[in-house]
Structure 1
Amino acid sequence: MLAIAAAVVFGFALLLDLLGTDLGAPDLFNWQTLTLIGLLLLSLYLAGVGRGAGRTGGGGGRWYRGRRPGRG
């Protein structure tokens, strides 16, 4: 989820840069600030923040107790 938010922030920063606008707040909505917010979200994602708290064991998918179905 954080990676998606980072992509949205980066896309918004790119649009602001391409359109050459600051939305009336030059100190708040400039492309440097949005880039730093995007990098923060991306680094939090890569650090593992925001993932499911109860998941352990690594890897996704199903795990079975006992014999796996379909294995003769």
Structure 2
Amino acid sequence: MLGIAAAALFFIAFLINAAEISTNHVFSSGNIMILGLMLLALHVAGIGGARGARVRRR
């Protein structure tokens, strides 16, 4: 799920950069890309996955 959110943030950052939309410093394309990288790192680390922990039953 975090991978999808990261892809969405990368797309928004691309649109801001490609259209040369002027935004304030908080929502600049670089900051949105950093947020996307953070979400991608969390996804790769296994946080926010769709699967829960497997429990073995006897």
What TM-score do you get using the length of structure 2 for normalisation? 0.82
Matched, 1:20 2:20: yes
Q: Which has the larger radius of gyration?
A: 1
Aligned pair count? 55
1:12-52 Cα distance to aligned partner (Å, 9 max, x none) = 000000000133x2x11111101100000000000000124
Higher relative contact order, chain-length normalized (CA < 8 Å, sep 6+): 2
Gaps of 5+ in 1: 58-72
Task: State, as a whole percentage, how many aligned pairs show the same letter.
Answer: 35
Q: CA RMSD in A?
A: 1.8
Gaps of 5+ in 2: none
Runs of 4+ in 1 over 3 A off after TM superposition: none
> Using the alignment, how far apart are the partners of 1:52 and 1:11 within structure 2?
22
What TM-score do you get using the length of structure 1 for normalisation? 0.68
